[in-house]
Each structure stands twice: as C-alpha cells, then as structure tokens.
Amino acid sequence: MIGNFPFVVCMILIALGLWTLLTRRNLIKLTIGISLIESGVNLFLVTLGYVRGGVAPIYTYAPPGAKMVLPTPQALTLTSIVIGLATTALMLAFAVVIYRHRGTLDARKIRELRG
Amino acid sequence: MTIGVHAPILAIAVPLLGAFALPVFAKVHRSLRDLWAIAVGAFTCAMVITVAVQTFTSGIQVYTLGAAAPTDTIASGGFPIRIMLVVDGMSAFMGLISALVGLASLVYAFHFLKEEQGKTLAMTLFFLLWAGMLGMEYTGDMFNFFVFLEVTSIAACSLVGYRTWESRPAEAAFKTMALYTVGGLLVLLAIGILYGEYGALNIAYLSSKITGSQLDKIALGLLLGGLLMKVGAVPAHMWAPDAYGEAPAQAAIMLVANTQASLYGLWRVLFTLFGGALSAPAVGWLVTSLGVLTLLVAVLMAVVQTDLGRLIAYGAVSQIGYMLLGVGVGLTVLPSRPDWGLVAMKGGIFHMVNDAATIGLLFLAAGVVKRAVGTRDLRALGGLGHDLKWTSGFFFLGALALAGIPPLNGFASKFLIYESSFRLSPILTAIAVLGSILLLAVFARAFQGAFLGPRLREAKPASPSMLVAMGVLAAVILAMGLVPGFFVEHMVTPAAEALWRGRDLYLAAVLGG
C-alpha cells in the first residue's frame, strides 16, 4: 500500500492544478495551475521508472550483474520538461502582452472576445 | 528508389529544418528567404504525395528510425524498441489534406503578410506547425504523437498571438494555449498509464496488448478528453472561435488543418489503439452525440455573429460536428460492421477534406476583406462585390459548398452522413439537416451583407498570390463536387477501410505476421 504513495501524491498535484484552473481568474495563477498539472504528470512518469534496487543505465559504470532500469521514462520526462518550459514561457509572454494593453491580469475584466 | 523509401521521414524533417533555417536566410536577403520557403514547400508537398501514392498502391508504409534498414521494425526479442513512422491509408489521406492546406497557406502568405509585421516570423511558425501536423499523422509511436501534438500547440498559439500590437490576439492565444496544454497533459498522463501497464509506447504493440482493464479505460477516457479539447468539440469549444477569428487568414486555415490532425489522433486511438478492446457502443454514442451537439451549438452561435471572421469560425466548429457524427456512427456499429457503418465513416472522412477546402477558402476570402477595407464587421461592410469580383465569387462558392448545396463537394459528403446516420437514429439526421439549413441562412446573410449592395467605400483588390491560393482551393472544391466518385474510390475508401478493418493489417505491418 505504501508503494502507491508516490502515485497518490502525483494525482493530488494534478487535482490541485485543475482546481487552480477552475477557481482562479488571474492569468499568472492560471499559468501556475498548468505548471502544477505538468509537474504532477512529470512526477508520475519518473515514478513509473523506479525499480527497487535498480542502477542507472550507464553500461560502463554499472557493477556486473546489476539490474539496470529502463531509461525511457527519464527520457520522456526530460522531453516533457522542455515542452513544459516552452508552453509556460509562451503563456507568460501572452500574459505580459495582455497586461500592457489592458492594464489588468484579471480574466473577468479582459473579455473582449465573447459570444 | 531510395528517396521513396525515406519519403515519410523527409516529409517531417524537411519542413522542420526549413522552419529553423528560414530566419537565417532572411538575415541574408528577403528574396533568398522566399526562394527557400518555395523550395521547402514544394519538396514537402512532393514527399507527402510520394508517400500517399506508395501507400495507396502498395499498402502500409513502415519506416524505422535508427535501424540498419528502414523496414527493419522488430529488434531481437520480438519487441519493437525503435521509433517508427507508420503510414496507412488514413495517415496518407490526412497528409494530403495537410499538404493541400499548407500549400494554399504558404502561397497566400506571400502577398498577404507585411514585412514590417513579422512576415519572417510567421513563415517560420508556419513551417513548424506544418512539420508538427505531418508528424502527428505519420508517427507510429504514442510519445512521438504527444511531442508533435505539443509542437503544433506551441506553433499554432504563437501564430494566433504573434501580433502583439493588438490586444485581442493575445487574449485568444492565452485561452487557446491553456486548453491545448491541459489537453496535451491529459494525453501524456494516459500515455504514462499505458507505458506503466505494458512497458511500450509503440501503437501497434500497445494495441496488441490492450485488453480493456480498468486502467485501460481510464487511459481511454483521458485520451478522449484531451483530444476532444484540442478538436474543439462542444464542452471545450470556447477557444476555437477566438483562435480562428483572431488569427490572420493564412494561419486560420492552418489551425483548421491542425484541428483535423488532432481529429485523426482521435480516430487512431479509437480504431487502432483501442480497436480490439472496444466492444460496448457507449464510446461510439458519446462521440456521435458530442458531434450532434457540437454542430447544433456552433450553428446557433454562428447565427448571432456580426464579425465575419467569428462567423466563419463558428462554421468551422460546426463542421467538426459533422465529422464526429459520421465517424461516431461508424464507431457505434463497429462490433457488427454493417455496410452502412462504412458509408458513415466514408462520409465523415470525406467531410474532413471538404471542410479543409471550403472553410479554408472562406477564411482566405475573409482575409482579403480585412486587408481591403480594414474591418470584418458585417454591420459596416457592404458592396465589396464591386471591387473584389474574384473574392466574392470564391466566397459564394465556399458558402454554397459549406451548406451542402448540390453539385458541390459538401453535398456529396453530407449525403453519405445523412443516409447512414438515418439507419442508426433518424433524430441524428434531422439535426444534421437542420444544421445545414441554418448554415445556408447564416452564410447567405454574410454574403449579402459583405459583398452585395451599393458600393460603400473603395476596396483594395486582392494580390495575385492570394488569388492563386484561393483558386487552388476553389478548384479542389469544384473537382470534388463534380467527380466525387473518383475521390471517394481512390482516396476516401482506403482511408475509411484503414480504420474500419485495417487494425489487423496495421499490427501485422509493424509486428510482423
């Protein structure tokens, strides 16, 4: 049961992010919410790659006969972190542009596009 | 012929390289940049056509990266560890749609974009978006699908919001980016769950292992939710009219093609990845009812629009509803596979290319209007037909095709959807026909308001490259309307068959025997 604890933490993080998206109206806070979901998913991927007693998959450094972990989840996580960086930067850039034009970051006050 | 073997990867790699080399060439000279853009665009289209011809004549193309031979799919141990591209009839068909829209967008952009308003930047993002779309359509690996999905998200949102001197594009781009990112993360979470269960990311291998356990169902739900967000189906359609409406015309049509690439991802997940585990019709009914809801809500919203761009945007969302309806009917009856189920699939898939051409033409015409008089507000427009003769003709053609007036292409695909959805439930057909009638009313009003009547002001006529781009799409509309049988037989049927019965062939092509 205690082995499932990391997965529970990931899901709590994702749920917190979704809750932020649904309840907050500040564009920066919305970006933080998306970052939280992203961290939850990344942690989930890292958790999947954990093998008890496994060693890092570097062939020349591994002791003979040791159990090496599959490096795929780590590679996925790295890719996902880079993508997350790009999306976060882009969203913050849009928030800056919106703030310059409208003088506010409140999503309720900047609705020019509706209907 | 070696270039034919490598065509699938070249179709993705060349626009990707083209995107990042473009600003460098632009630093040297503008004409060098234009020459480079034309060369990359032409080569990409040639590669996509090569892939399509090979797939339609000799079956599924498999390309393996990092193997001694590109056809060497299985590593020792019978387990596919390499990244691979798998192009079946459906992927090839989607590639052709992306190539057509990309070509029109590129040609249109030459005279439409202004140098001082970030032309180089917009063309760079265009090639990035193009590469991402083709990658989504050709990949045979779930994680690569996610990466290309995010490439298209980032490029598409930048294209919506790169005009920072206005406030509305940034607002639309922020909203779109938020929904795209959440959708993408749901997809990634689902991929993580599948990887944790089966230890692989290859679509064919996963498909052969998925049995429909509780975790599989959760993964399917997450994939459905994430992809439907990117497609703009009804509960998550808020971003679509904003993004389509605020993006410049040449980017708006790329967004339409990008939406269809996400729709392709949905079909791939439903028919190939979960094709062996889906037995209950519940998912099919979900897709069908979301389709009907989408088309009804979008058409009703289109009725009250006063901005020409947003009006067409709601038209674009409603067309997604028709595709979901057509393929959803096929998915609902997939376990028993009656003949009319395949007809519904053909209708839905044929409608994808029709939508790309007609909505694309309408967006390009609206772009000409915006450039000619500086506004797209229907209350202020009028009498543009005096100055924009070709453009008003193209808009008229697009509006008729969208509403499904015979003998144009929209009628051919909608008729297939009507006659088959009727077998599932007449209510679906009734709503679909009602949607078409309302669309005709909406676009008749838009055409009359913008192009007919007395001349209110001088309009700047369209430039040659813009007319050529619209002419290409208009020619496709006319060709598909006059000889629909040819297109259905040689392109749509292989695509529909690839989803309808093609899962075993897809698995055999990758996993062998």
Can you say how many angstroms the Cα of residue B379 is from the centroid of all Cα atoms in its chain? 31
B241 CB neighbours in chain A (<8 A) are 113
pLDDT in tens, B456-501: 878 888 888 999 999 999 999 999 988 888 989 989 999 999 998 8
A113 CB neighbours in chain B (<8 A) are 168, 171-172, 175, 241-242, 245-246
Read off the pLDDT of each residue in B17-38 and give the average, rounded to a whole number. Answer: 93
Question: What is the per-residue DSSP string for B194-231?
Answer: HHHHHS--BHHHHHHH----HHHHHHHHHHHHHHHHHH
CB pairs under 8 A between A and B: 92
**Distance separating alpha carbons of residues B364 and A33, to the nearest angstrom:** 36
The predicted model scores a pTM of: 0.94
Residue type, A99: Y
B183 CB neighbours in chain A (<8 A) are none
B269, B503 contact by CB (below 8 A):
no
Torsions phi, psi for B250 (to 5 deg) = -70, -25
Provide the residue-wise pLDDT of chain A in tens; the chain has 115 residues: 677 888 999 999 999 999 999 999 999 999 999 999 999 999 999 998 888 888 887 878 777 778 888 888 889 999 999 999 999 999 999 999 999 998 888 888 877 666 5
**Distance separating alpha carbons of residues B180 and B239, to the nearest angstrom:** 9
Residue A115 is assigned to a structural domain of this protein: no
Contacts (Cβ under 8 Å, ≥6 apart) of B507 = B204, B207, B208
A111 CB neighbours in chain B (<8 A) are 171
Asked if the C-beta of B152 comes within 8 angstroms of chain A's C-beta atoms, the answer is no
Tokens of B149: 């999905």
A14 CB neighbours in chain B (<8 A) are 189
Q: Which of A14, A90, A113 sits opposite B158 (nearest CB)?
A: A90
Distance from CA of B192 to the nearest CA of A (A): 6
Give the residues across from B87 on adjacent strands. Answer: B61
**Distance separating alpha carbons of residues B109 and B251, to the nearest angstrom:** 9
CATH of the domain at A30: 1.10.287.3510
Which positions 300-319 of B are in contact with A (Cβ < 8 Å)? Answer: 301, 304-305
Whole-angstrom CA distances from B85 to A16, B7, B51, B136, B356 are 37, 11, 12, 10, 24
B21 exposure class (CB count in 10 Å sphere: 0-12, 13-18, 19+): middle
Asked if the C-beta of B170 comes within 8 angstroms of chain A's C-beta atoms, the answer is yes
**Distance separating alpha carbons of residues B87 and B78, to the nearest angstrom:** 21
Torsions phi, psi for B338 (to 5 deg) = -75, 160
Domain count for chain A, please give it.
1
Give the residues across from B74 on adjacent strands. Answer: none
Torsions phi, psi for B80 (to 5 deg) = -75, 105
- The residue segments making up the domain with residue A58 are 5-110
Residue in B with minimal Cα distance to A83: B150
Look at residue B243 and tell me whether its pLDDT is greater than 80. Answer: yes
B302, B238 contact by CB (below 8 A):
no
Closest listed residue to residue B43, CA positions, set B64, B72, B66, B12: B12
pLDDT in tens, B1-15: 578 888 999 999 999
Residue in A with minimal Cα distance to B83: A72
End-to-end Cα, chain B, rounded Å: 25
Diameter over CA atoms, chain B: 75
Reported as a pLDDT band with limits 50, 70 and 90, residue B81 is confident
- The answer to whether the CB atoms of B178 and A110 lie below 8 A apart is no
